[in-house]
């Protein structure tokens, strides 16, 4: 069983489109994150939810909107995609403030 | 400005030697510092966590030190093997006990057979 799963694994789309990435964890953790890893491999936090409540919202354009329907899921919706949104997006979950378990990543390419 | 730097972008060492990776930070007071391994095309995998009141932590061939005065963590892999080749990331919670982790720039380690 995969602990943290993301769909889709690859996403190729045109500029201006709206897309969603889904994340699910079966670890029973309270906290989930979205990270963006750019072409230079720098991993940057975007959002974090704890028990379905948004607790971290970094300087991210309003086009990005996370949604947590329940503790096990954290989805990321992106409106009006831009070229600069091309990156790998990682979901992670954590039990408390310590170990984070990362998903396999979603590779987004905006053309 | 606040940042986390890892000593070098890439490090090559000979198999069997000890690899030492450095993580330096400024303007933070973290309660925890973590080290992760990331292989190409995969998500980071947790290796070790060290708390602010701990000087050293070990796990098999891995050792982490944490010096809050120097604002530095060292990550050692002893008896390195080609299978240890990967990118290693340090991460720290920037406000001491919050859920917000900031990652370092990463060091790409290559162990030569």
- The CATH number of the structural domain formed by B1-57+89-113 is 2.60.40.10
| Chain A contact for B95 (CB, 8 A cutoff) | no
Among A5-14, A27-36, B29-38, B93-102, where is mean pLDDT lowest?
B93-102
How large a percentage of chain B has pLDDT more than 90?
Answer: 68
Alpha carbons within 13 angstroms on the beta-carbon side of residue A65 total 9
Tens of pLDDT along B34-88?
999 999 999 999 999 999 899 899 999 999 999 989 999 999 999 999 999 999 9
Q: Which residues of B touch A92 (CB under 8 A)?
A: 43
How far, in Å, CA of B12 to CA of B112, rounded?
7
How large a percentage of chain A has pLDDT more than 90?
Answer: 75
Which segments within chain A are labelled E, that is strand? Answer: 4-7, 10-13, 19-25, 31-37, 43-50, 53-57, 64-70, 73-78, 87-94, 100-102, 106-110
* Range A69-82 average pLDDT: 95
Whether residue B93 and residue A97 make contact (CB cut-off 8 A), yes or no, is yes
Name the one residue in this structure whose structure tokens are 């949604």. A67
**What are B11's strand-pairing partners?**
B109
Domain boundaries, chain A: 4-110
Whether residue B105 and residue A44 make contact (CB cut-off 8 A), yes or no, is no
Which residue in B has a C-alpha nearest to residue A90's C-alpha? B43
Q: Which residues of A touch B97 (CB under 8 A)?
A: 97
Whether residue B43 and residue A104 make contact (CB cut-off 8 A), yes or no, is yes
The pLDDT mean for chain B works out to 90
Q: Is the pLDDT of residue A55 over 70?
A: yes
- The CATH number of the structural domain formed by A4-110 is 2.60.40.10
Q: Which residues of A touch B89 (CB under 8 A)?
A: 43
């Amino acid at each position: 069983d995969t602990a943290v799963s993301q769909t889709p694994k690859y996403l190729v789309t045109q500029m201006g489109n709206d897309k969603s990435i889904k994340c699910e964890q079966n670890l029973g953790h309270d906290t989930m994150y979205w990270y963006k890893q750019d072409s230079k491999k720098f991993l940057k936090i975007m959002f974090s939810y704890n028990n379905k409540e948004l607790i971290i919202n970094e300087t991210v354009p309003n086009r990005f909107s996370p949604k947590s329907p329940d503790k096990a899921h954290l989805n990321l919706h992106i409106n009006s995609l831009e070229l600069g949104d091309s990156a790998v997006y990682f979901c992670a979950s954590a039990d408390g403030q310590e170990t984070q378990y990362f998903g396999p990543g979603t590779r987004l390419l905006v053309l | 400005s606040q940042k986390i730097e890892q000593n070098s972008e890439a490090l090559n060492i000979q198999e069997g030697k000890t690899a030492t990776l450095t993580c330096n930070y400024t303007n933070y007071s973290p309660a925890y510092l973590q080290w992760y391994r990331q292989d190409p095309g995969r998500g980071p995998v947790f290796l070790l966590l060290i708390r602010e009141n701990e000087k050293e932590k070990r796990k098999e061939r891995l050792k982490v030190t944490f010096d809050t005065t120097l604002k530095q963590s060292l990550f050692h892999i002893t008896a390195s093997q080609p299978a240890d080749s990967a990118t290693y990331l340090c991460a720290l919670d920037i406000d001491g006990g919050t859920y917000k982790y900031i990652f370092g720039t990463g060091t790409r380690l290559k162990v030569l057979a």
